[in-house]
Amino acid sequence: MDVICVLPARLSSTRISKKPLQKIAGRSLLEWCWQAASQVTAFDRVLVATDSEEIESEAKRFEAEVVMTSPAHRSGTDRVEEAAIKIGARDGDVVVNFQADEPFVDAAAVERAVNVLTEANAAAEGSRGSETEISTLAAPIESAEEWHSSAVVKVVRASNGDALYFSRSAIPYVRDEQPTFEIVAPSPFLRHIGIYACRRSALRRWAELPESELERIEKLEQLRALEAGMRIHVEVGSWTEPGIDLPADIERAEALLSTGG
């Protein structure tokens, strides 16, 4: 069994032009994310999947493996699935979708998310882990501003750690009091981090599903899997800097990465 990490990267972005190629502290966002993925010791292979010759050229500049994929994909999941097919990923492998706008992820938390699946592969049938098809990450929300921002995806979990719902809205909604935010566990207020570890069969099924109504409304690809009844485990890590979604995030990342923060 191999653990294969794929960074899906495309040029088009609704908020930041050519986002993967944006320079931050002297390096492209794509390179920072590739370096973050390369720090995860659970990964046996790290590659970039793109439909852009510009991104291909940039990835090869810092000696990343690149797989060219179709420009027709509607989501990163679909692009990762094509890459998995092209490199011959096997049914026993775990494939990780590491979105190319998350340079600040906690490598230890990523490894725990991956371990939910790799340890389950060796577990007896019927165990909790063996039923999990997808594993993803979350971190505590630190402020009301972050909680209310539609650019920040929130997730709520069941008591067993499975995802109940993902949304751009402020969830869980606090009806009778002012919410308090603590960046330590346990916190019900969680920011989703766009990294998914999938059983090879689960990735294939997810990509083959038609776009769901909730996915269309919220513009969140994970809702396609959740709405189809697929089980998504949410591993909660410590607070980390959010990813790059808005133009202001470029300035924040520049300040942090230029000082090694």
Q: Is residue 80 part of a domain?
A: yes
Rounded to an integer, what distance in angstroms lies between the CA atom of residue 17 and that of residue 99? Answer: 16
Q: Is residue 260 part of a domain?
A: no
Q: Is residue 133 part of a domain?
A: yes
Q: Is residue 203 part of a domain?
A: yes
Q: Is residue 250 part of a domain?
A: no
Q: Is residue 257 part of a domain?
A: no
Q: What is the CATH number of the domain that holds 93?
A: 3.90.550.10
Is there a contact between 77 and 216 (Cβ–Cβ < 8 Å)? Answer: no
- Domain of residue 145, residue span: 3-241
Q: Which pLDDT score is estimated for 260?
A: 63
β-partners of residue 199 are: 94
Is there a contact between 113 and 135 (Cβ–Cβ < 8 Å)? Answer: yes
Q: What's the mean per-residue pLDDT of the chain?
A: 91
* Percentage above 90 pLDDT, the chain: 77
Residue 148, number of CB atoms within 10 A of its CB: 12
Please write the tens of the pLDDT for every residue from 213-260. Answer: 999 999 999 999 999 999 999 999 988 898 898 888 898 999 998 876
Q: Is residue 252 part of a domain?
A: no
Q: Is residue 78 part of a domain?
A: yes
Please write the tens of the pLDDT for every residue from 126-178. Answer: 444 457 899 999 999 999 999 999 999 999 999 999 999 999 999 999 988 88
Query: What's the mean pLDDT in 46-63?
Result: 97
Q: Which pLDDT score is estimated for 12?
A: 74
Strand 232-236 with 134-140, pairing: parallel
Decide if pLDDT at 87 tops 70: yes
Count of the separate structural domains present in the chain: 1
